[in-house]
């Protein structure tokens, strides 16, 4: 039982490049989330998916797109990376509004 | 909107000292409250939670009581260990969507 997995662990991009962050969970949870963590800012919600086939914007969605591929997988895409998107990205899942389970994170540096 | 405020860090304590990390919240409804812990280089893990007023969450020697009258959910531990060094996040769960996190409090425990 791996829980929530994320790939890649680290990534360096140049400004303007695109990439997709992958997330998968094996707990059969309905809800999945993408957060970013920046120093002194805590975690901020980018997008979430309450159930398969639905996605909604969170607090900081600009510059990102998401796809809920199936119940297990929820990907985050940066179409044209900017230095302001340098951050640590966390995926999480939950069965309801209660306990969320987090992945190990993806550290992204945009030059 | 709903929000969480937690004490600024970093907090530095000697081993076996008493720990308190303050957390207060603002919410229109009756949220669930959480403490998450993040060890260096890892994702967030649920430490404890409380779902209604006067509930006490506890885990690994940590405790927090949901106080509706003071809108607080302070984290305490009677005797900290070096292995407790981490960043601690207070969070509020509302409306069935994502969690609202505080900015985090870094704890360093020295031998």
Tens digits of residue pLDDT in A14-44: 999 999 999 999 999 999 999 999 988 889 9
Pair B67, B56: CB distance under 8 Å: no
Chain B residues near any Cβ of chain A (below 8 Å): 32, 34, 36, 42-46, 49, 51, 89, 93-99, 101-104
Q: What's the pLDDT score for residue A26?
A: 95
**Average pLDDT of the residues of chain B:** 92
Interface residue A88 vs chain B (CB under 8 A): no
User: Is B55's pLDDT higher than 70?
Assistant: yes
CB distance B50 to B73 below 8 Å: yes
Instruction: Read off the tokens for B39.
Output: 């060890």
pLDDT digits (tens, 9 = 90+) for A79-90: 999 999 999 999
Q: Of B68, B82, B96, B86, which Cα lies nearest the Cα of B21?
A: B86
pLDDT digits (tens, 9 = 90+) for A40-72: 888 999 999 988 889 999 999 999 999 998 999
Q: Which residue has tokens 């607090």?
A: A59
State both tokens at A8: 């890649």
Cβ–Cβ below 8 Å for B103 and A97: no
Instruction: Yes or no: say if B38 and B67 are a contact pair by the CB < 8 Å rule.
Output: no
């Amino acid at each position: 039982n791996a829980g929530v997995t994320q790939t890649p662990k680290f990534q360096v991009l140049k400004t303007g490049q695109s990439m997709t962050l992958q997330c998968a969970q094996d707990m059969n949870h309905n809800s999945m989330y993408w957060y970013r963590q920046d120093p002194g800012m805590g975690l901020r919600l980018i997008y979430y998916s309450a159930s398969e086939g639905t996605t909604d914007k969170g607090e900081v969605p600009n510059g990102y797109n998401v796809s809920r591929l199936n119940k297990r997988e929820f990907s985050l895409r940066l179409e044209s990376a900017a230095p302001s998107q340098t951050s640590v990205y966390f995926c999480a899942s939950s069965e309801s509004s209660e306990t969320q389970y987090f992945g190990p994170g993806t550290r992204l540096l945009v030059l | 909107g709903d929000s969480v405020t937690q004490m600024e860090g970093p907090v530095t304590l000697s081993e076996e000292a008493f720990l308190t990390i303050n957390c207060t919240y603002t919410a229109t409804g009756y949220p669930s409250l959480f403490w998450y812990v993040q060890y260096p280089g890892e994702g967030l893990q649920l430490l404890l939670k409380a779902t209604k007023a006067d509930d006490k969450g506890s885990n690994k020697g940590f405790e927090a009581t949901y106080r509706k009258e003071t809108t607080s959910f302070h984290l305490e531990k009677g005797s900290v260990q070096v292995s407790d060094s981490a960043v601690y996040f207070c969070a509020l769960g509302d409306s069935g969507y994502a969690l609202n996190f505080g900015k985090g409090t870094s704890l360093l425990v020295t031998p």
